Amino acid sequence: MVPADEHTPATHVPVLAGRIVDILAPALEAPDSTYVDGTLGLGGHAAAVLDACPQARLVGIDRDPAALAIAGERLARFGDRVRLFRAVYHELPDVLAAAGLSQVEAICLDLGLSSLQIDRSERGFAYAADAPLDMRMDPDSELTAATIVNTWPATELARALRSYGDEPNARRIAARIVAAREVEPFVTSARLVSVIADAIPAAQRRTGGHPAKRTFQALRIVVNAELDSLTAVLPAALDALAPGGRLAVLAYHSGEDRLVKRAFAEASRDHVPPGVPDVPAAYRARFTQLTRGAERPDAAEVAVNPRAASARLRAITRNQEVPR
């Protein structure tokens, strides 16, 4: 971790960058082929793809203006091959329309947090430093983590912690939060972390990692409507792929990965009843999955970049067009 005001692109380690380049590069060999990075962050994956694919152009998307500024500096060496847009990734169709594109050859979505958001403590994402309870990826959006913990009923809080954080102690934590805010509203993260830790049985605190990890993950997902955005972007991204185009998605949470798995499974199946011996061309699958299950970083990568430990990579390619 680096000080909040000294973050540089050099601190960013993109997850599974080599594997993502291997997956996407075959679709980016033609002149002026387009690669969309829907979660640009600090530009690590984008730089790796542009270096490996000198014919390709980039459309980079991120909702965080600070990340866009740093990525813009990092990617400046690629000149007019790069176009950056401030947007949420589910706004992909609008961004492509603004860029004058109807189809693209490759798309990458690296879900979750960027290194910038984790390392700048004032953003409120990290539970290891006392900071305002913010957690907004887009600083102009209205909902903050403080609003959730100070106003949501216990039942809604518990449901969010269970659904988005896989937190087994969701009800206990929610009850403790509601009781604590009656004494004094939550303003910064340290007091919330203390309340969460006190709600978790001692045996689980010793064996389950940081006690606030799951709760903070759930709050972040709710604040930024991440699963809603993912649900919207997956069909849009598949529709945007040109024949032979490829989509790679890095997920870090079981709920995210479940959505990707289901979308890819549906897109890669024939649209006829099981057992039909000869599937008409118009009903054959439009996509083929490129990964068998979810691929994970190996131990060597996790040792260098511990933030990669929970990553799950899935990829899919659009088949050549079939008559409809």
pTM of the model: 0.86
Structural domain boundaries of the chain? Answer: 4-116+226-318, 142-223
What average pLDDT does this structure show over 105-113? 90
What CA dihedral angle connects 278, 280, 286 and 289, to 10 degrees? 0
Which runs of consecutive H residues, i.e. helices, occur in the chain? 17-24, 44-52, 65-74, 92-98, 115-119, 145-151, 154-165, 170-183, 189-199, 202-207, 213-223, 226-240, 254-267, 299-304
- Paired strand residues for 106: 35, 246
For the chain, report the end-to-end CA distance as a whole number of angstroms.
53
pLDDT band at 281 (very low <50, low <70, confident <90, very high): confident
The answer to whether 250 and 311 are in contact (CB under 8 A) is: yes
State pLDDT tens for residues 194-243: 999 999 987 776 565 788 889 999 999 999 999 999 999 999 999 999 99
- The CATH fold assigned to 4-116+226-318 is Rossmann fold (3.40.50)
The predicted pLDDT at position 124 comes to 54
Question: What 3-state class would DSSP assign to 314?
Answer: strand
Please, what is the average pLDDT of the chain?
89
User: How many angstroms separate the CA atoms of 27 and 115, rounded?
Assistant: 28
Local confidence band at 4 (pLDDT 50, 70, 90 cut-offs): very low
18-52 per-position pLDDT tens digit: 999 999 999 999 999 999 999 999 999 999 999 99
Buried residues in 139-167 as b, exposed as e (16+ CB within 10 A): eeeeebbbebbeebebeebbbbbbebbeb
pLDDT above 80: residue 141: yes
What sign has the CA pseudo-torsion 159, 164, 166, 169? Answer: negative
CB-CB contact of 145 with 203 (8 Å)? no
Q: Which amino acid is at 314?
A: R
What CATH number was assigned to the domain covering residues 142-223? Answer: 1.10.150.170
Residue 118 pLDDT greater than 70, yes or no: no
Q: What is the pLDDT of residues 162-187, one digit of tens each?
A: 999 999 999 999 999 999 999 999 99
- Residue 11 vs residue 195, higher pLDDT: 195
CB 78 within 8 Å of CB 37: no
pLDDT of 121 strictly over 80: no
CA neighbours within 13 Å on the CB side: how many for 108? 34
Identify the pLDDT of residue 17. 95
